[in-house]
Structure 1
Amino acid sequence: DCELIRRVAASRSTAVSIRNIRGHRSTRRGRASTREGTLRLVGGQSRNEGNVEIYHAGKWGSICDDEWDLNEANIVCKSLRYELGALRATVNSEFGRGRKLIWMDNVYCNGNETHLHHCPFDGWRMHDCNADEAAGVVCNNMKIFTSFSDRQNDNSISNEIDEIESKKAKERRNMNENSKTASIKQILKSSLILSDSKLSILTNDKLKLRIAGGRHKLEGRVELYIDKEFGWGVICANGWGIFEAMVVCRQLGLGHAEHAVQSPYFGGQNMSYILNGVKCRGHEASLQECTVHEFGSVTCSRNHHNIAGVICAKELPDLVLDANELESSIYLEDRQMVMLQCAMEENCLSTSAYSINFNDFSWLYETRRLLRFTARTANLGTADFRPFLPKHVWQWHACHRHYHSMEVFAHFDILNSEGKRVAEGHKASFCLEDNSCVDDIKPKYKCANYGDQGISVGCTDTYLHNIDCQWIDITDMPPGMYHLKISVNPEFKIAELNYDNNAVICSFLYNSVSARVWNCTSTRP
């Protein structure tokens, strides 16, 4: 019996051991032995990187990249026994398109959790994402040595790694030095890892660009032309997002980016991949100014199913926050828990509010300190701002007595001098409507009676300071100097003309009895 117990324990340990799995196949035996909440990485070129998948209810599923940052990435990597945590968090399906089954969205960790599913999130399979928004990580695979003998035993491996890295660095230096005379043909016959160098270094600014395969001239797969012998090629869409699409549409004179596509919808399955890991800021005049991770004979994750494409548009909305309204409306309020029941249902309070002993009747009279303010958002673009979710999936909020058309419309964050969040950033669901309009523009959108929602061009949507959840819970935050950051459309779910005015960041002084905000400037979320 003891031997049997040991075998069962060993098999369970093996089942939850950390390994990188590149595919989605799993045997019946594997499913039976996999524990609830097990994590794995898929699609990466090495064991320490990939999209994150979690095992729940007998199935593997992806995690949406909304709210995904180093806090969540560190918990994933440490769960996978990378003791030094994460080097970076990845978004936009950087390691290939995720699964259709998405288990988690809006995961928000404070860094103290022992497992990812211990963090607050929207609920299993509750999300507003697609396969293009898979969250991933790159873990720090450096070893921590507990003794000198351990380090000696690992010297041979370390020396090999050092030699490989030195060789790669030398190749990159040679490539940069000889880029003007290097043969593109030679490069295209092999894969060159560039460590995120500018594409113009390789192409000498002679790269040709077009889109093809669309139903009209404003959409299609992105194609590149470098050499007659190799013809046109496509881009692997790992990490392809709205900022890269913005640059393509601008370069081709097609207006602005409405969607970034990661699929073979526009064809191109029989074409060669030339680029992988393209990263743009969105301001670049051409794709050559963006960085690229891999160039040449590129192997794309899940080959022929991850082709970069774009859908361009001539007119788009442009949201702008009213910084003056924010500065003039901010104040503190101490409110008892008995008056915060709706707010608790919508997760508008910090984590400590949910750890109260609810068996003690006095919890109703405990107080939370709230930083309250008005958020006024104007649409200064050329098209109406409309929710991307169809009307039939809008969420009814009984406390507010109306539907919320966007799961996350705004983020409220307080940052310290190092840029780290010190109060839990609140993710606000919103009902969007025209509260006031300029000139002769008539309000078009109303929340009441299941009306159409949005913000018309020339109109503003105002969430007053006295509305539930229009606050940040700062109960656990010590007094001091901070920065307050308010963002709208923070996850870039809806395309806009410009994202650089979607947030304001302000100096914020909190001295226990009062709050003051000043020096607000516009920035990107």
Structure 2
Amino acid sequence: MALLFFLILAICTRPGLLESSSSVRLVSGPHHCEGRVEVKRDGQWGTVCDDEWDLNDVAVVCRELGCGAATGTPSGEIYKPLAEEMQPILISEVKCNGTEDTLAQCGQEDDVYDCSHNEDAGASCEIPETVRLVGGPGRCVGRVEVKHRDQWGTVCQAGWNLSAAKVVCQQLGCGKAILTRTYCDKVSHGQGPIWLSQVSCTGQELTVLGCHSEPWGKNNCTHEEDTWVHCEDPFELKLEGGDNHCSGRLVVRHKGTWGSVCDDGWGEKENQVVCRQLGCGKPLSLSPKARKPFGRGVGHIWLDDVHCSGREQSLEKCQHRFWGHHDCTHKEDVAVICSAQDSGFPGA
């Protein structure tokens, strides 16, 4: 009988079946659906060795986190800050067929002895569309709708505040929330289910579905109480004066107007953020002579003393002086050349 007990125990605790003691997260990425993979065992978070790691494994991680389709198996090394040296590497040789609901259901090895943190696994998933603004003049203004059970529905104004609007604007990649209200015009009213009511956010949530609310569909509201949100125009930047969109003089849009960026304190980390935001690869070195083909800007100089860590997904997230405050001339306009093009300019 004792032998039978230990056999059952061994079968039930073999790698891949410890579901109750395991969970997963993605860290140090641009959003909750991309980053370095970490799993939790016995109350401790550790990384995953990328031996045998493939898109099937990432698909399971994406499903477990409620993200969209798997899009890549990036190295965990690209997500800064890196894992601490003393952080354990908990599993390796993960083998999923891609249909599992959790990573814990996949085959995996718990005895990790030949991996280091430069082999940490990463995962990239699509961000599912769970909120939108409709009926307004653009994607950043309109009636708030959320998706539940593959159906779009509205959000009741009851309990709604500016912190909740802030989360929606950030989730959509728009600017700051500047207005949240109801509209009396019947044309602006939604139809179908009213999914959420008494939404309460701190403003720090990644998605509005991460805020506290009444259970789905539970409310005493009508569509006359549908919530509308007005966000600022999204922050935009571009490079102009070059042969393509990946090289040129940097300009940013603020309050609907394009303006230059002063090069005081500008360096490699700031270039990294610009190239990443534009989807243009990595920055190339740029000598002062290389700026001449791009010319000088005119009009506003919007930003000065910009300081980035290099990890930001948008230049707007970097530290800088108040918009429009500077001590520069257009002789100091920032220019950037990124690797995803053949510039042919001196100094590139």
TM-score bracket, shorter-length normalisation: 0.3 to 0.5
What's the TM-score, normalizing by structure 2? 0.41
What's the TM-score, normalizing by structure 1? 0.28
